Amino acid sequence: MAEPNTNYYDKGSSEAAQLTALTLKKLEQRRKLTGDSERLVIVLVGLPGRGKSFIARKLQHFLTWRGSSCRVFNVGKYRRHANAEMSRERHEAQVEDTSTSEKVERADLGSCDAKFFDPNNAEAAALREKVAAMAMEDMLKWLDYEGPEEQENNNNGNSPKASFRRLSSSNSGSDWGVCRKYSRVAIYDATNSTKARRDWVLEECTCPVKRAGKRTGVIFVESLCDDQELLDQNFQFKIQNSPDFKGMSKEEAIADLRSRVEKYESQYETISDDSRSYIKIYNLSSKLMVNHIYGRMAKVIVPALMAWNIGTRPVFICRAGQTTDDGNTVVNANHRKASLRGDVLGHTGRRFTDALAEYILSEGIKFMENRENVVSLDTGTSVSGLRHSNSSCDFTDMPSLEMPFSAHIMTSTMPRAIETATWERLPFPVHQISNLNPLDKGDFTGMELEEIKEADPDWYGKLEQDPFRTRFHGGECYEDLIHRLESCIIDIEQQVAPVVVVSHVSVIQALIAYFRNSPVENCTSIEVPMHTVFKCTPTSGGAWNVQKVVLIEDTSDSASESSDDVPQSPTPIWGDKKMVSPLVESKTLKKFNESGGSTSLNLPK
């Protein structure tokens, strides 16, 4: 026996790793799951009111933004459409009277009460099986079809009404006109509450006979919740938004939903087969259990699921303030390239920094006051918002060193961005993140677009044709930028306090595309004005509302703002050094300053 290594606890064994039969056996499953599939199906699992559709929307939003083609196939929609058609046929055969008008209206919506989900209701059970097959058929066709891309915009992907008619008439033709460019991710949104149903889903997606040559990965995502207060809140949201409860009183809807849940609970089987790939989410991301999740899914989906929460914190995004360049000095490209990363703020930029500090102070105080008006849950988790040890402090007369609220400040590593987010009155830690640096223009760094066009007209022509995917020589394209911003989006999403991001035009265009849920390939046309804040506020459904707040107005005609809904020039705005004419304080900021920084000031929404 060899002598023990005295440095074992520091370095471990220095012998070469040996391949054994046990090692191969243990790693076989990882080998199968590590390879990237062109097609991925995320199968949601969970009782009603557990946040499955919230997770589906967030996944679709995030994965689409990062470049995957992603669609949600909600079996509940198929069920409502199918039930509506069957119900209307039955009602047309009856004599219409005023006593049945409300039932007819609910039938038109396809609404189903708790009796529909009774496992002993044979007719309803048969319909549930049928609509699950409809959604599955459409999902697999969408995953596989390669055809004219133009039809994609004319088809929302999840068209249960058309599917019901197509399946009923045995029409095998496909209307999925989509050209596959990237990996495809389909989200199968249903309760999938029994082992038998999940076995069927897995078989349909991966059967080597039916799916020969169409490799498809399957991940189960189960949402579990045993927090009664959280469940009650989820139930309230569901009855207010689901068509199933239209026409019911609040009390009737809650009672019906609870009855529905009880019927599902009587046959619910949690995921327990550890040979499968699954993620379990407890109480909306307070805990995650991950099994056999490897490859790209480990670095994309899992961090996202851990980050998402139901908090109400705002996110503020703005450009760095104006730099010392006065716009009148003639400089060459080499000078601009040398000074690009070292610019500091000029007079107007410092004014914007002061205005931004006042604005964030006002918004932060309103955020804390709103929290004071609701029941305080001092757990520090994503459910309650954030823990604050001094929530009852007097904000109007606060020592300068005592922070009135928590905030997460993120900037690029550029001096002008760091200076814009450094406030004497609010000395928050500034997190300098190189991922927030401007688009890397490589060999063209420091050059204006006109100079690039003159230097390389062929490449510039490609840029005009596809500004999103055309990569600068030795640098990046916008598509590259999206991938390096993934971790920043995760960081922003996981916060429970207000977030401030100070960056540059190209980065902000990509971020705003995410928060607006607009096509990311069109982000190059998003206008990002100087001295303006984008305020992003989460909605209860998982999306974000985005509003512009102008802190310092530009009085020149050239700086007048145009609608972001109207496509701008196809040529993107690369830097944040464009100079503007003399600026004046916005009326909002002037009012704020004249009020002495009163916390009751109503800033524009």
Which pLDDT tens digit goes with each residue over 425-457?
899 999 999 999 999 999 998 888 889 999 999
Pairing mode, strands 39-45 and 184-189: parallel
Rg of the chain (C-alpha set): 28
- pLDDT per position as a tens digit, 175-197: 433 334 458 899 999 999 999 99
143 vs 12, residue with greater confidence: 143
> Please, which residues have CB within 8 angstroms of residue 62's CB and are 6 or more apart in sequence?
304, 489, 514
What is the pTM for the complete model shown?
A: 0.80
CA dihedral over 202, 208, 212, 213, signed as positive or negative: positive
Separation CA 505–CA 439 (nearest Å) = 9
Question: Which tokens is 182 given?
Answer: 């990237």
Res 162 pLDDT > 90: no
Q: Give the whole-angstrom CA distance, residue 85 versus residue 127.
A: 12
Residue 381 in this model has a pLDDT that exceeds 90:
no
Q: Which residue has the higher pLDDT, 191 or 310?
A: 191
Judge whether 230 and 47 are in contact, CB under 8 Å: no
DSSP three-state, residue 292: coil
- Place 284 in a pLDDT band, splitting at 50, 70 and 90: confident
pLDDT at 3 (0 to 100): 64
Least confident of 84-93, 334-343, 513-522: 334-343
Over 80: is that where the pLDDT of 465 sits?
A: yes
Helix (H), strand (E) at residue 367: helix 347-372
What are the tens digits of pLDDT across the range 57-74?
999 999 999 999 999 999
Structure tokens at 191: 């309760």
- At 309, is the secondary structure helix, strand, or coil? coil
181-211 burial, b if ≥16 CB within 10 A, otherwise e?
eebbbbbbbbbbbeeebbebbbebbeeeeeb
For residues 296-308, give the mean pLDDT. 86
Domains and CATH numbers, the chain: 30-307 (3.40.50.300), 315-320+332-594 (3.40.50.1240)
Instruction: Give the pLDDT mean for 344-364.
Output: 94
Confidence at residue 560, expressed as pLDDT on a 0 to 100 scale = 33
Give the integer Cα–Cα distance in Å for 340 and 325: 11
